[in-house]
Amino acid sequence: MLWIPATLAAAAAQTARNATQRRLTETIGTAGATQVRFLYGFPFALVFLSIALTLSGERLPRPDGGFFAFVVAGAVAQILATALMLAAMRERSFAVVTAYVKTEPVQTALVGLLILSDPVTPGGLAAILVATAGVIVMSGVGRGAGASWRPALLGLAAGAFFALSAIGFRGAILALDSGGTLIRASTTLAWGLGLQTLILTAWLLALDRPALTGSLRAWRPSIAAGFLGALASQFWFLGFALTTAANVRTLALVEVLMAQAVSRRLFAQGTSGREWLGLVLVTGGVGALLWFHA
């Protein structure tokens, strides 16, 4: 059951990181704020790996071709997911976009079943569906002007890519044939963030140098976002090493509740009656998931 506190810690750190990145989009744009998560997070991932090796006394696992296939897929999917999420957050409230993104557990469960043969129990599936219904109600898809569909589609697409990244990284962790849970999670995190830093830095150097230089100028908030991102990923990967990605991503819906609090305090964004109903469903679904795994 250690995956539960690991996931809760990851959700808290990710909420703080998303809020920091969301503010960075206003000064350095979506591409620059996306790069911050990886460029400034990679050094912290190496620190976490060094600490894990020191504490465990183990050696680094030797990655094989299967590991690299999974980690590259997870890394690319997470870059796309982060960019889509930040683009949506420029058009809708922080909490509502978080709700769009958090439709991912159903997609994660299905992809995990197909690719990794991760089991989904009837009770677990019911909990996932209830919690996902909550984020759909909360987001208000289909309400309001047609322009509201753009952030909705961006957020839903981000959720799909986050689902693919979760499966990719869990697959990479499972592909390592040596090392304990902490070592395999930390090794995968270091490789993942390293690849993401290389990919996105090369992309920005070729196509958007102002975004890259902007992220370097805004180094103070960027360091904070990088640390929070690496910390969140460290706990996500620990969760992936201990249970299915669908379980981790469903419990991670508590991030919607955290985002609601952030929206009210930092961005002065209120909560409607429909959003409160969605929050109740999310909470109920997460509670049911924990009950079935107690």
Domain ranges for the chain, please list them. Answer: 3-292
Number of H helices, E strands in the chain: 13, 0
The answer to whether 227 touches 44, Cβ cutoff 8 Å, is yes
Rounded to an integer, what distance in angstroms lies between the CA atom of residue 126 and that of residue 289? 8
Q: What is the pLDDT of residue 132?
A: 75
Rounded to an integer, what distance in angstroms lies between the CA atom of residue 29 and that of residue 126? 39
Tokens encoding 49? 């790996």
The answer to whether 113 touches 120, Cβ cutoff 8 Å, is yes
237 by Cβ neighbours in 10 Å (0-12 / 13-18 / 19+) ranks as buried
Rounded to an integer, what distance in angstroms lies between the CA atom of residue 280 and that of residue 71? 35
- How many alpha carbons fall within 13 Å on the CB side of residue 157? 15
Rounded to an integer, what distance in angstroms lies between the CA atom of residue 135 and that of residue 132? 5
**Cβ contacts of residue 104 below 8 Å, gap of 6+?**
159, 160, 162, 163, 166, 249
Give me the tens of pLDDT residue by residue for the chain, a chain 294 residues long: 789 999 999 988 988 887 787 778 778 887 788 788 889 999 999 999 999 999 999 999 989 999 999 999 999 998 898 888 878 877 766 666 766 777 777 777 777 877 888 877 788 778 778 877 876 776 665 555 444 677 778 888 888 898 899 999 999 999 998 889 999 999 999 999 999 999 989 988 998 888 888 888 888 888 998 999 999 999 999 999 998 887 888 788 777 777 667 666 655 555 567 777 777 777 777 677 667 655
Rounded to an integer, what distance in angstroms lies between the CA atom of residue 237 and that of residue 187? 10
151 SS3 class: helix
